[in-house]
Structure 1
Amino acid sequence: MNIKSFLNLVEIRTKVASVIPFLLGTFYALYRFDTFNVKNAIIMFSSMIIFDMTTTAINNYMDYAKAIKKEGYGYETHNAIVSHNLNPKIVRVTIFTMLIIAAALGLLLVKNTNIIVLLIGAISFVIGITYSFGPIPISRTPFGEIFSGLTMGFIITFLTIYIHVFDTGILNISFNDLSNINISFNIIELANIFLISLSPIMGISNIMLANNICDIDEDIVNKRYTLPIYIGKENALKLFKWLYYIGFISIVIGVITKSLPIISLVTLLVLKFVQGNIDKFNKLQTKKDTFILAVKNCVITNLVYALTILGGVIIQLLFNN
């Protein structure tokens, strides 16, 4: 396996879906809490990217291993194991190696913070692995969009914020003994974090939804009963549209509640671009031609969104000085 085939196996081009929630969480920690832990940020970013690559490699491996129809639908080109003629044994070793590295970095992050990171990180690992692996992988059920959106859009954003503010009382668990567990949390701040995470949650969910809409025919043959198969293509396309709208509405609410800087309203300017891509996707749904539109919508919307929060940080610094 060379570098090119490895990067295709882990679909490195899609890792931006993890990077953007990380940037969002980092900028929000600076804006809301005026704090930044460099060491924790580096460890978190490394573990996150490696684990994201691991889950993608698992997904490609399981698609390869479980495929019933192995011709047509672009199978010969869009699965890296097939297109690069990769040895399945080497792919498995690569997956386990990345998983061990990501877990080790995660444990190091726990050492620097507290048990909350361990618990949420463990949940993320379980979801990430069972998303593509096991008797009934999540990606082959109607729940793929929900789990991918919440895991990458909310959990990454939350953890990125939490590693900077873990000692401020946002969320804590303490054990006096095995029968006495104390949980304390700041419901306002947790609600704010969920609210500001809605835009990436919706954007990432729509990447999975667009993928499943494009693959309806192939998924039926390969017995992957995804959400579009359950609700039908027409309803899936309506959902695709409204998930974006919910993301934009959440930003407006965030500004109104002062969770976000007023400059975040600049993100609404992207709506015209997003609407154009929604219209194009409604006309044609294929992996080759229009799936990329969902990725572009997520990246551009949430990158602009994250940068507006950074703009809020800069404005704070200028006015404080």
Structure 2
Amino acid sequence: MQPNVQHGSKPPVEANQGFQVWWQMIRPHTLTASFVPVLLGTALALRTGHIHFGLFVAMLIASILIQAATNMFNEYFDFKRGLDNEHSVGIGGTIVRDGIEPKTVINLAFGFYGIALLLGVYICANSSWWLAVVGLLCMTVGYFYTGGPLPIAYTPFGEIFAGFFMGMMIILISFFIQTRTVDSTSILVSVPSLVLVGLILLSNNIRDLDGDKENGRKTLAILLGKKRAIYLLAGMFTFAYLWIIALIIFGVAPIWVALVILSVPKAIKATLGFVKNSLPIQMAPAMKATAQTNTIFGFLLAVGIFIGHFFS
């Protein structure tokens, strides 16, 4: 008989506190959603002048810490609500499988937030203190994504919040701290990142659709149903690539950003993975391919902008 994890109780497993457990807790495969936008925003700033390397590094580390903390908040609150168990697919599992105390997870998450705040002070001191408001708002959204009485992740708006704050806003902040401004080009180039980061959450919700429905969530995937949610996923993938083509045609971005086309096979793999499979464990590779699409697309977009800067 499998052990029963009671709501908010200590996991009935022997604690395993090796490095791999702590590394897995931050869900490293998701961290590209934080550092790729920083790279992209910095690449966009190159055309306006020199790059402040210290601000770039501080922004990079702060973004990764906030993403890792958000993942730990997710693990903690899903456990406290009784939504995770040792057989759950797609979770870090440090609480329900590895026996790490829930209090340790939440304290470490707040510790990461504390370090990010210190880095934020350095960033604001060398750019603008108005960023303190924006940064605190991003951190608040990270906490309430799965925390609070009505977690954002349990509503149809999770993809929008994730895409806007973890995609577009990180790019614009990274651009602003180097240039002290935000222009139309940086906004237009950040739109595909907004879309693709949102799709990572949509893919997660497609995989977890049945379990989320049983637990009373109202995610976009649940409201649309699996078939329509996959159509949306494919449609937004297409939109992201067409958007880049439009930026090239209208002279907003250099021709080199067409390199993003090399990420198309991953987008196709993700879409077909959801079409052909129905069990959560079977759809896990499709979700991974969605995250890889965002990573490869964003990295190639940044490379294209870098090349365009030197050959314009």
Fold shared, TM-score > 0.5 on shorter chain = yes
The answer (yes or no) to whether the contact 2:25–2:94 under 8 Å persists in 1 is yes
The Cα of 1:112 is off from its aligned counterpart by 1.2
The Cα of 1:151 is off from its aligned counterpart by 0.8
Q: Which amino acid aligns with 1:136?
A: L
1:224-282 Cα distance to aligned partner (Å, 9 max, x none) = 22111112111111110111111112211222232211111232343344224322322
Q: Which residue of 2 aligns with 1:242?
A: 235
1:16-50 Cα distance to aligned partner (Å, 9 max, x none) = 111111111111111x3133111211211111111
Pair 1:62-2:77 in alignment: yes
Relative to structure 1, the CA distance from residue 257 to residue 135 in structure 2 (aligned partners, 3 Å threshold; closer, same or farther) is same
Q: Which residue of 1 aligns with 2:274?
A: 281
For the residue of structure 2 that corresponds to 1:109, the secondary structure is helix
Superposition map of 1:1-321 within 5 A? 1-30=17-46, 32-68=47-83, 70=85, 72-74=87-89, 78-166=92-180, 170=181, 189=183, 191-285=184-278, 286-287=280-281, 288-316=284-312
Matches of 2:269 and 2:165, distance apart in 1: 28
Larger mean CA deviation between 112-121 and 270-279 belongs to: 270-279
> Would you tell me which structure has more strand in proportion to its own residues?
1
Q: Which runs of 4+ in 1 moved over 4 A?
A: none
Matches of 1:97 and 1:87, distance apart in 2: 15
The Cα of 1:301 is off from its aligned counterpart by 1.9
The Cα of 1:99 is off from its aligned counterpart by 1.4
Relative to structure 1, the CA distance from residue 71 to residue 265 in structure 2 (aligned partners, 3 Å threshold; closer, same or farther) is closer
Matches of 1:73 and 1:97, distance apart in 2: 26
Matches of 1:281 and 1:69, distance apart in 2: 22
For structure 2, list consecutive stretches of 5 or more residues without a partner in the other structure. Answer: 1-16
The Cα of 1:162 is off from its aligned counterpart by 0.5
- Identity fraction in percent: 27
Matches of 1:231 and 1:277, distance apart in 2: 18
Q: TM-score under structure 1 normalisation?
A: 0.85
The Cα of 1:142 is off from its aligned counterpart by 0.7
Relative to structure 1, the CA distance from residue 139 to residue 89 in structure 2 (aligned partners, 3 Å threshold; closer, same or farther) is same
Matches of 2:101 and 2:86, distance apart in 1: 19
Q: TM-score under structure 2 normalisation?
A: 0.88
The Cα of 1:66 is off from its aligned counterpart by 0.7
Matches of 2:140 and 2:159, distance apart in 1: 16
For the residue of structure 1 that corresponds to 2:95, the secondary structure is helix
For the residue of structure 2 that corresponds to 1:28, the secondary structure is helix
Q: Which amino acid aligns with 1:165?
A: T
Q: Which amino acid aligns with 2:287?
A: F
Matches of 1:269 and 1:69, distance apart in 2: 36
For the residue of structure 1 that corresponds to 2:289, the secondary structure is helix
1:107-162 Cα distance to aligned partner (Å, 9 max, x none) = 22111111331121122111111111100111111111000011111000001111
